[in-house]
Structure 1
């Protein structure tokens, strides 16, 4: 099964790009169109086959890391070593584990001996910290060994394959890659340069996958392995995409099992004088630090990290990367907005739009055609598209939904390809016999709007496009290559923006892997838990986020994107670093309100009011929170303050009437409801509370009059329920059954929901002659029966 999609290759109007992705979702595109603006759209297909993987639980795997941490935190080294020895015995005697625990026991015995002799040793704290780190590493090693034999995950499947080639190591494979790369550079001098280059490229790509897998699954890295990987970053003869691939492998290996050599490699890579390498290494380092926040740095690694923090770019880079993590958290919300709001509305409008145009839907033409634009405005889609455009301009990932359909090619079955930077020398592009594919690959290489995985998706999709269309697109796009190069050159001086763009695209690639990879359930997703990538809470980064300007910047970013719990944490820290601010307390109160903590929300709103008693917004928030908290009198006092400045506000009058009604002052409440009716005209907005207030005050005639008006329009389940109460209190039990049955039907025949509301209103019957409990039970049972009949008739 295939789908069709149009994707803009050159930079285009953001709303056009968003429309393009939406139209792909609803299958509107039929063919490519050369518009007057020379914007080119590629039709391509995505394989929609699904991959499923079920993890088989293994009961004999040894995971004692939690117990080890508790023992070490209590200083019980001997008990921790005993636990490791016992666990190793249950797995089967492992000589290396036993030997390692014996060495650690001896080191600990000597340390204890010298300490008890009262001998001074300034290095003792460092030795103790390193000893604890070694014990934790042993526990990790034991857990890993216990799973090697039969764990069904991709990691262990790959590891078992690597172990079958015992003569291979990371260092050996990198050495082989050096040799192949040199031969590839010399291939241009051979008689058949194209054939030799093609064969060597395939060999190099095969080695790249093997090296990724070995770096990923080798734990811990040996000294030779770490040196070889470090030399890769400093070697100018090796291609950049290979260096970046190695960074991804180092990160993925650290997410599996902790290894300080990996952290050191990422720290070293950050200092490399290459923006791509530096920024990717930083993002990878911050992710693994967040996910491994329970593993303290050893003293030596702490010193290396301290030197890293002296880099003048460090503070700004960390903040920039953090913003990309926050934006990535917003991707799911953006996707829901597209799939739940925009796309369904577009599907409804599709017949009308295509009828107006008498031709397949073109997103750019939709912007230019006044009739189509009017349809979009009336449906409300234009406003949603503008919001998505703003999200995109702010760095939000609006293309995730579109490109998620194009990650099922066999290319994406290999984990390494999710971390492979797009490059036009890849065999799928340079090795293609079609010059149009090569040209498109070169253009995609320079396209800044897509992350690497999405670029590969587009190129792979071209294989399903007819050759004639590929040639047409290549000839059209050739004229724009100079313009694209000029645009790229124009961006070079903006070093900060360039680093931000690199980080944004890399984080998008990582996010896509953890959300779209066919075996994603086997990996710990850094984006799954909001707090996992909250860098503010990392002790090692406290100074980066400790100044007022940074706390405000990040807090406002969280606040604007709806992450209210995280925003509050930042605002709370900020409140201790600046003079009291009414605006800050407003936002802290709003964060508490949005997270459901009304008592705290009221407290912060009150602090804001003390600093600025003239803020109508704050007073209204206080009224709302007190009303939600059930303090009607307090809420009313705040509504009265607002109403003094806005006496003709019907919404305020309605709220004041409700407060009076809930306080039992029915006649006073009715005055406000009548005021609403006078100011805004007769409608359900005023009629419903009048019916309720009349029932409570015993004025059944007035309740009947207004209830009839409501029932004559578009009554809700609550309206039928109130009408049923009215009939019960009037003694018309048969009519009451009819109203109750209608209320049940209006709730999609949810009897439990009906009974919850009915029981909440039982107090209405206490002040009037009402049926006894038996009669009322018979009445309700009959209502249930009649509602069933209504359902059958429907």
Structure 2
């Protein structure tokens, strides 16, 4: 951002209004825009006059309102100056659009009339034109219609500020019954994009009011737009009482909590887009390709080999496909990177097209659909009505399907047919998709995926500030947090954040839950779990104890209490809770090992031995128990027994450096110097890192002294080992 603009924002944020207005006037003169210069000067004069009245002791009941309006106007002028400075004398999209619009200005009421005429003309076309001419006529109408739609988008997208007339005409356009929902949705997207550049209260008010539209497409786009602006460009909101009033009314709508919850989860899901792609490419698709290679190696000259299915089963093929399905069902964007190369078609050169809902009468798509052969129609019909592909990817699919060679197309259709052979009635699939496509959560998800593609893939994306760099933690947004404070919403957000390891944010959510729903044991458990993962075990213990008080004797709570007490070195308390779990689940050998380890830390080796003997009695090859028992026996002077257990561990593949070193300790205690040195040297080789070797030797000296090893041997231990 320009340094002067940054300085102005800093002054405004700190309510140094006069100093800011002086710099705004100066910045307005630099860009040589007469209208903005006049606005800046008049605003400064008005503000100075108000200040002079105050200094004279004149009381003005409207003073607060005047200050508010001055700040709002100052921010607006600053944003407009910043946008003009950024794009003036450049070859940016906004500059090109402004040049094109200035050569042929069309007001919104004229645009409305053109859009309404299209709806009337396309609706009566079948009655007017012959069957031979109808497709060409409809295509021609669609092309002319889209010219108007694109102009409407560009005009709105590049506009700095609406006049009152613009606002009235925009409301009339949105209320027109003859304009399609798709056209209105594109208009709302243009408004949203414009508001990201320069905040305009009139545009934002229209966005808010459009949420009440009966069309799910319009309502969903409007709310997504409201959320984006409240999150990205909201510093001016408090200066507009009418906006605050409309937001307050919005909160009374029963739908908004559920819709906002879905939008929050969908924006959170975008954080994982790259991870989903990596998971599919490196995990799932590699396994799928392996199945294909293995299948090709099988001799199938006598027909299908039954081992093919075995290969698929053994490789986890079906599990991988199920994993893809589960990701899709959860709202994961798994096609972003697969479809990214397909955003190079001419259709995507126009900025407005990135915000088009998918519709088959779009002029680039209409001829493709019309040329489809009978066997191709089921595929394309399912794809374009699918709720798994966003609007932009559906356009990509159509363009790609049109361009692939006939032989590949046949192979593709054959595979598609096999994939859907289990469905007896494809019409049922289409019917299901059509029903789901009307749901607001599906519409908003696909729209957010479209937006993600625009900000990541648009050829001139560097001209825009990528909104997806924001965390979209709406629970921290002052205008939206109240709508995300109900139990179900907080639980869903919290579960997502834990699942994908956003622990700091998850902690915020569960702290909110602990305040709003203090009697919910699960939320205290999850708060403790998060704090435990963040290594804040003492805080975690307090949460687990609260959960235990609400729902006593839960195995999960007691286990995590034991883990935390062990982690902070309170081994007696850890044993207390491990023993509770042991009573509930006496067959859990890992609990016995944990108790034994705690007794070792307390240097109660005989008590520890009892637990390790129990484990070995049930599982004689349990390495952890064998290793720990050997150490306990060495500590209590049972050296021969200790050697026996250390040797058993070393006889297994899982032996580590410290098993050899511990055996070396016992040998040197018993005077078996040559064996001890041999054990130590193998351990040192396995450790490899010299600093770790020195540290290990140093830590061993106390143990060796306490078991009678002479100081002469201890002093030269390093030289004997290395």
TM-score range (shorter-chain normalised) is 0.7 to 0.9
Q: Of 268, 272, 293, which residue of structure 1 is paired with 2:209?
A: 268
Q: Scaled by the length of structure 1, what TM-score is found?
A: 0.75
Q: Report the CA distance shift for 1:92/1:253 in structure 2 as closer, same or farther (over 3 A).
A: closer
Deviation of 1:323 after TM superposition, in Å, equals: 3.9
**Pairs within 5 Å for 1:200-215:** 200-215=141-156
What is the aligned counterpart of 2:602 among 663, 671, 674? Answer: 663
Paired position in structure 2 for 1:62: 2
Give 1:762's match in structure 2, choosing from 698, 701, 714. Answer: 698
Q: Say whether residues 1:591 and 2:530 are aligned partners.
A: yes
2:357 to 421, 439, 448: 421
- The answer for unaligned runs of 5 or more in structure 1 is 1-60, 360-364, 745-750, 781-794
**Which of these residues, 201, 216, 236, is aligned with residue 157 of structure 2?**
216
CA distance in 1, matches of 2:456, 2:162: 28
Given that residues 632 and 659 in structure 1 are in contact (C-alpha distance below 8 angstroms), is that contact kept between their aligned partners in structure 2?
yes
Counterpart check, 1:167 vs 2:107? no
Which residue, 79, 82, 92 being the options, matches 1:143?
Answer: 82
Instruction: Give the distance between the partners of 1:134 and 1:681, measured in 2 at CA.
Output: 79
Are 1:676 and 2:615 matched, yes or no?
Answer: yes
The alignment's C-alpha RMSD in Å is: 4.3
Q: 1:494 to 1:647 in 2, by over 3 A?
A: closer
Secondary structure, counterpart of 1:131 in structure 2: helix
Q: What's the CA shift for 1:654?
A: 1.0
Q: Which has the larger radius of gyration?
A: 2
In the alignment, is the contact (CA less than 8 A) between 2:503 and 2:530 conserved in 1?
yes
Kept in 2, the 8 Å contact 1:721–1:758? The answer is no
- Greater RCO structure (CA 8 Å; 6+ sep): 1
- Please point out which of 222, 228, 247 is paired with 1:287: 228
1:127 aligned to which of 66, 73, 78 = 66
Equivalent residue number for residue 338 of structure 1? 280
**Corresponding position of 1:723:** 660
Cα deviations by residue, 1:484-509 (Å, 9 ceiling, x for unpaired): 667766788889x7222222222222
Change in CA separation of 1:93 and 1:689 when aligned onto 2, cut-off 3 Å? farther
Distance 1:112 1:394, change over 3 A: same
Distance 1:706 1:408 in 2: 67
- Decide whether aligned partners of structure 1 residues 104 and 766 sit closer, same or farther in structure 2, where only a CA change above 3 A counts: same
Displacement after TM superposition at 1:588 (Å):
2.1
Structure 1 residues 543 and 439, CA gap change in structure 2 (3 angstroms): same
1:741 correspondence with 2:685: yes
1:554-565 to structure 2, matched below 5 A, reads 554-555=493-494, 558=497, 563-565=502-504
Alignment of structure 1 residues 86-235 onto 2, 5 Å: 98-116=37-55, 121-149=60-88, 157-165=92-100, 167-168=102-103, 171-172=106-107, 175=110, 179=114, 182=117, 185=122, 189=128, 194-223=135-164, 225-235=166-176
Say if 1:292 and 1:371 are closer, same or farther in 2 by CA, change over 3 A. farther
User: What is the CA distance between 1:529 and its match in structure 2?
Assistant: 4.1
Shift of 1:459: 1.0
CA distance in 2, matches of 1:554, 1:630: 33
Q: 1:302 — aligned with what? A: 244
Q: Is the 8 A contact 2:649 2:659 kept in 1?
A: no
* 1:342-384 alpha-carbon deviations (Å, 9 max, x no partner): 333334444334456949xxxxx9xxx9856655554455555
Task: Give the TM-score taking structure 2 as reference length.
Answer: 0.81
Residues 279 and 499 in structure 1, CA contact (< 8 A), matched pair in contact too: yes
Which runs of structure 2 are paired with 1:450-469 in the superposition (5 Å)?
450-467=389-406
Counterpart for residue 707 of structure 2 = none
CA-to-aligned-CA distance 1:706-739 (integer Å, 9 cap, x gap): 44444443346xx135425755865655664454
Structure 1: distance between partners of 2:566 and 2:363: 66
**Between structures 1 and 2, the one with greater helix share:** 2
CA contact (8 A) 1:582 1:611 kept: yes
CA drift at 1:457? 2.1
Out of 1, 10, 15, the residue aligned to residue 75 of structure 1 is 15
CA contact (8 A) 2:525 2:557 kept: yes
Q: Secondary structure at the match of 1:290?
A: helix
Listed as ranges, the gaps of 5+ residues in structure 2 are 705-710
Q: Which residue of 2 aligns with 1:499?
A: 440
The answer to whether 1:351 aligns with 2:293 is yes
**What is the CA–CA distance in structure 1 between the aligned matches of 2:422 and 2:603, rounded to whole Å?**
74
1:255 to 196, 201, 204: 196
**Cα distance between partner residues in 1 of 2:577 and 2:417:** 66
2-structure distance, mates of 1:547, 1:487: 35
Shift of 1:602: 1.2
Displacement after TM superposition at 1:159 (Å): 1.9
- Secondary structure in structure 1 of the residue aligned to 2:361: coil
Pair 510,705 (structure 1): closer, same or farther in 2 beyond 3 Å:
farther
Question: Relative to structure 1, is the Cα distance of residues 265 and 763 closer, same or farther in structure 2, using a 3 angstrom cutoff?
Answer: same
Tell me if 1:430 matches 2:374.
Answer: no
